[in-house]
């Protein structure tokens, strides 16, 4: 039902996203889909990826891309300042995610990274993005939104910024859905214990310079990102603490050791989740013509 309207809106979201980031001086890179390294996606207590897809080609083991975070850092080490990629990601989610409404095992994120940026730069960039996108869609896709019976919420700026500690205090350990239902506009959730590449506060153990953006109305997580650790010693300690296979990360570690990785910040937001939010759909799978719902057989 309503595939034409939904995909028309998604197509406009894609056009708007490419224009927005290009106009801000970002270079669009093409996606990488196979690599010896990919985002380990952990440790993250909320991750439910059951395995990383892998193929063998010419005697080398290559992983299916879970996110291009490490490639984004490497791209900046090669002299680029601001980049983005429409990046297809494969995350083989546990079938229990079938009904979460927001999980797919294959999706596309708009993934970006900025040299010498801080969290606040990403907040500003994305708040402007969402507010302009919503104005644009109200103008260009009003007919489709009406057919979908969707009234878009106001994007009042700035979005609230909440520490995860406050969110846990107010909504409990599993705060995301409850807080998402409570708020009427998107909000930032700051400081999450997760992957080694996100910057830890050197002065305060257990604090991180990373963030999620969460949609209101129960639509849940929209975006995740952070400032990045780039120094060899810090990265090595975290890679060891997280018990990651150092051999796999050889090239990345070599760059860090040579001082080539730079301080950066960035994030990625799922295109299908954004389309689901804009269209007000129950399940993100409704956005896909070729559905990739965790635990469901793929037909085509």
Residues that bind ligand ASN (CB under 6 A): 39, 67, 69, 109, 111, 224-226, 266-268
Nearest approach in angstroms of CB 39 to ligand ASN is 5
6 versus 126: smaller Cβ distance to ligand ASN:
126
Q: Are 206 and 164 in contact (CB under 8 A)?
A: no
Q: Are 185 and 160 in contact (CB under 8 A)?
A: yes
216 versus 225: smaller Cβ distance to ligand ASN:
225
Mark out the alpha helices in 142-249 (DSSP H runs). 142-147, 164-171, 175-182, 232-241
Q: 3-state DSSP call for residue 66?
A: coil
268 versus 294: smaller Cβ distance to ligand ASN:
268
Nearest approach in angstroms of CB 63 to ligand ASN is 14
Query: E strand or H helix at 118, and its extent?
Result: none
User: What single DSSP character describes residue 246?
Assistant: T
Q: Which residue is nearest to ligand ASN (CB)?
A: 268
What is d(CA 109, CA 271) in angstroms, rounded to the nearest whole number?
5
List the one residue out of 26, 42, 33 whose CA is nearest residue 197.
42
101 versus 226: smaller Cβ distance to ligand ASN:
226
28 versus 140: smaller Cβ distance to ligand ASN:
28
109 versus 288: smaller Cβ distance to ligand ASN:
109
Nearest approach in angstroms of CB 33 to ligand ASN is 15
Report residue 297 as tokens: 């057989």
Centroid of chain to Cα 223: 4
Nearest approach in angstroms of CB 159 to ligand ASN is 18
Nearest approach in angstroms of CB 69 to ligand ASN is 5
Nearest approach in angstroms of CB 228 to ligand ASN is 8
Terminal CA-CA length for the chain = 18
């Amino acid at each position: 039902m309503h595939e034409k309207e939904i995909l028309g809106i998604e197509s406009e979201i894609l056009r708007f996203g490419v224009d927005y980031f290009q106009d801000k001086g970002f270079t669009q890179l093409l996606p990488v889909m196979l690599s010896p390294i990919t985002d380990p996606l952990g440790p993250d207590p909320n991750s439910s990826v059951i395995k990383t897809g892998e193929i063998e080609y010419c005697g080398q083991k290559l992983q299916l891309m879970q996110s291009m975070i490490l490639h984004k850092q490497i791209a900046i080490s090669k002299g680029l300042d601001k980049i983005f990629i429409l990046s297809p990601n494969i995350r083989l989610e546990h079938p229990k995610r079938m009904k979460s409404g927001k999980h797919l095992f294959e999706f596309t994120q708009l993934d970006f990274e900025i040299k010498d940026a801080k969290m606040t730069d990403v907040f500003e960039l994305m708040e402007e993005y969402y507010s302009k996108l919503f104005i644009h869609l109200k103008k260009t896709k009003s007919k489709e939104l009406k057919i979908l019976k969707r009234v878009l919420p106001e994007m009042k700026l700035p979005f609230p910024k909440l520490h995860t500690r406050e969110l846990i205090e107010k909504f409990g350990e599993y705060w995301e859905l409850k807080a998402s239902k409570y708020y009427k506009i998107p909000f930032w959730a700051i400081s999450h214990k997760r992957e080694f590449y996100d910057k830890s506060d050197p002065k305060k153990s257990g604090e991180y310079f990373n963030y999620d953006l969460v949609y209101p109305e129960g639509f849940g997580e929209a975006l995740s990102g952070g400032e990045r650790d780039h120094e060899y010693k810090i990265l090595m300690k975290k890679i060891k603490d997280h018990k990651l296979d150092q051999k796999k990360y050889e090239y990345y570690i070599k760059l860090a050791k040579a001082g080539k990785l730079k301080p950066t910040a960035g994030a990625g937001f799922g295109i299908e989740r954004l389309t689901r939010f804009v269209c007000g759909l129950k399940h993100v799978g409704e956005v896909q013509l070729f559905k990739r719902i965790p635990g469901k057989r793929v037909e085509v």
